Structure 1
Amino acid sequence: MRTPDITLVLATVGRTSELGRLFDSFAAQSFANFEVVVVDQNSDDRLLPHLERARYLGLSVRHIRHDPPNLAAARNAGIEAARGRWIGFPDDDCWYDPKVLEQVAARFEQADQPEGVVVRWVEQNEQPLTAARLTWKRASAFRDVPVSSITLFCHRALFKTIGGFDARLGVGQYFGAGEETDFVLRALRSGAAFCYEPLAEVHHHVNPEKPDPTPQARLAVRHRARGTGALYVKHQLPAWVILRGLLSPILRPLLKGAFGADLAHGCAVMLGRIDGMLRWRRTGT
């Protein structure tokens, strides 16, 4: 069996119907030499029909189990199982442009041979449309870090050099986000070369522009924001970066005269970042 060039590590729990669109987008890729490692965090067999269909579509799929659910730890298990030179991390509810793997592989093979390639999340529409090199200086100021897990592709060797995702961060943990940003910050600090490739595109729905006014939504926002607060402390970011990160969520709505759900959302972000900083100082290393 031919060794794949790319491994896609798909950590999933709870979802089923969304996988059909994702697997269809994999089957439509112009680049064929890749495998999918599905890290199944469900306690039942709900994925089996979808995996059978993926194999019917001609995909090379391997299925491993992981318990208890922890997104970062599940991705680390997938990295351990990966055989490809390069590894990507699709979400179970995203989907790929047909040429994205071809473009990623071509970018890795260019003369500068980056350790990481970050592609464009189309629906987010906040990323530049020009190719660029990511730098520690800009990233540590939380500038030019257009990174979500769905946009991230890395050399497998990089994970052996700096380790995988920090399992204290991300979905299912007290620090409810930030594991991919943490990984990229660690990589850049180690001297790894990361580039942004806007012509390679992935898709994922984004949250509505108007914040959800419910208390439950604000709690979820606060939970995710703890990850950013943890990163402030873990990476010893400059005081001005931290101060900007704490104040801007509430200053933006105030300057617009938005005193309802927007301001409540901003307060939740600020409080979550403070939560994350304080807890990481007590429990992080």
Structure 2
Amino acid sequence: MPIVSVIIPTYRRANLVGQTIESVLAQTYTDYEVIVVNDGSTDKTVEVLYQFGDKITVIQQKNKGVSAARNAGIRVAQGRYIAFVDDDDLWLPNKLEKQIACLESHLNIGLVYSDMFCFNENGVLPNTWAKANPTPSVQRLWTLFGRNFIPTSTVVVHRECLDAVGLFDETLTSCEDYDMWLRIIAKWQVHLLSEPLVHYRLSPNSMQNNEEQMLVNWLRVKEKAFGRHPKLQKLPLKFLESYFFNSYLSLAYLYICRYQGAKARQTLEHYQKFRGATSVYKWLWMISFPLLISSQTSDKVPASIKQLMQNGEK
């Protein structure tokens, strides 16, 4: 049986997934299997996958989303460790070698991830991901709750971690990886290898460009973790405002700008449950009713209100 199972979910990436697979097959560490889950692609993805023959295992399923695709791969995986890579990213040849050595020499680590290069159609960006987004020196549940600093395509995790915390949440259409890492870090240590071991593709059509969807799912993940862990509920208010509560205000204002008052008020009700009826809450609630305020006024947040949405009330 292989030591590592590499799982690649793919959807309509016939022009890119082959490059991803080739980067995995070029690893200096060789005791692994590659499981590609084709999530209902309607392009030539199937033809590309079958060109690799028995070098990879292909799972075909109807389009259910990336969480369901990763879960399908996990269910058939035989490895002691599970590695993830998205279908447009590329691994450096020594990625698995470095990370498996780390895991097998530090048995207290449940998940290891790495730095990565970011690139687009113009080439590789000058700063690595970790330089542009410094990882907290303390990697614990509360710091990860602040923001997700674990890129999925860099992750190798013990299979026993996934067996203990469960599979990816298939009801999340984004941020499903963040949800998983929050569950894992509550029980196991995670470790960063500061060396870049992945090339991460910056795509203009990335799911991350859908601001509403990202905010909705990001808040759902935060709510789940906040409810599971009383220690998070005891964090300083300033921290919670900056990294949790104020995102409800941002989402509510996004809905207001789209004249979706009912959605705005629903979002504000969630905010009020956690933070109370602050002045920003009252102001946004008022302008969520289009008859009460002109479109010219609601098109722009006053500077004082915007500052409070970003930093919290004094």
TM-score (norm 1): 0.73
Counterpart for residue 39 of structure 1: 37
1:98 corresponds to: 93
Structure 1 segments of 4+ aligned residues over 4 angstroms from their partners: 128-133, 246-251, 274-279
Question: Relative to total residues, which structure has the larger helix share, 1 or 2?
Answer: 2
CA distance in 2, matches of 1:157, 1:277: 38
CA contact (8 A) 2:35 2:57 kept: yes
CA distances 1:202-246 after superposition (whole Å, capped 9, x unpaired): 1122257xxx9xxxx998211112121112211115554442146
2:6 corresponding residue in structure 1: 8
| One-letter amino acid of the structure 2 residue matched with residue 30 of structure 1 | T
Tell me how far apart the structure 2 counterparts of residues 131 and 85 of structure 1 sit (CA, whole Å).
Answer: 28
SS of the aligned residue for 1:109 comes to helix
CA distance 1:249–1:233, shift in 2 (3 Å): closer
Which residue is 1:141 aligned to? 146
Q: Report SS of the residue matched to 1:167.
A: coil
Show the counterpart of 1:25: 23
- Structure 2 unpaired stretches of 5+: 119-126, 227-231, 274-314
User: Aligned equivalents of 1:147 and 1:108: distance in 2?
Assistant: 16
**CA deviations over 1:71-97 (Å, ceiling 9, x no partner):** 112111110110111111111111111
The 8 Å contact of residues 169 and 227 in structure 1, kept in 2 or not, is answered as: yes
* Pairing of 1:33-112 with structure 2 (within 5 A): 33-42=31-40, 44=42, 46-55=44-53, 60-112=55-107
Tell me, what secondary structure is at the counterpart of 2:201? Answer: coil
Residue in structure 2 matched with residue 206 of structure 1 by the alignment: 202
Which residue does 2:183 correspond to in 1? 186
Structure possessing the higher relative contact order (Cα contacts under 8 Å, 6 or more residues apart) = 1
Map of 1:221 onto structure 2 = 211
- Is the Cα–Cα contact under 8 Å of residues 208 and 214 in structure 2 kept in the other structure? no
Q: Structure 1 residue 135: deviation in Å?
A: 1.2
Alignment partner of 1:169 is 2:172: yes
Of 80, 103, 109 in structure 2, the residue corresponding to residue 114 of structure 1 is 109
Amino acid at match of 1:230: R
Distance 1:250 1:113 in 2: 39
1:179-221 Cα offsets, whole Å, 9 max, x none, are 11111111122x212111122511122257xxx9xxxx99821
Q: CA RMSD in A?
A: 3.6
Residue identity opposite 2:140 in structure 1: T
Cα deviations by residue, 1:266-285 (Å, 9 ceiling, x for unpaired): x89xx99x859949x9xxxx
1:197 pairs with 177, 193, 196, which one? 193
Distance 2:59 2:211 in 1: 31
CA distance in 2, matches of 1:106, 1:200: 16
Separation of aligned partners in 2, 1:76 and 1:204: 22
| CA distance in structure 2 between the aligned counterparts of 1:126 and 1:95, rounded to whole angstroms | 14
Q: Is the 8 A contact 1:227 1:276 kept in 2?
A: no
Of 155, 159, 183 in structure 2, the residue corresponding to residue 156 of structure 1 is 159
- One-letter code of the match for 2:224? K
Superposed CA deviations along residues 117-176 of structure 1, whole A, max 9, x for unmatched, are 11222217342589966311322333xx42122122111111111101111213xxxxxx
* Count of aligned positions: 243
What is aligned with 1:127?
A: 130
Q: Give the greater-gyration-radius structure (CA).
A: 2
Assess, with a 3 A threshold, how the Cα gap between structure 1 residues 222 and 205 changes in structure 2: closer, same or farther. Answer: same
Structure 2 SS opposite 1:36: strand
Structure 2 CA distance for partners of 1:198 and 1:277, relative to 1, 3 Å: farther
Equivalents in 1 of 2:188, 2:7: separation in Å? 21
Where structure 1 has 5 or more consecutive residues not aligned to the other structure, the ranges are 171-176, 252-262
Whether the 8 Å CA contact 1:130–1:197 is kept in 2: the answer is no
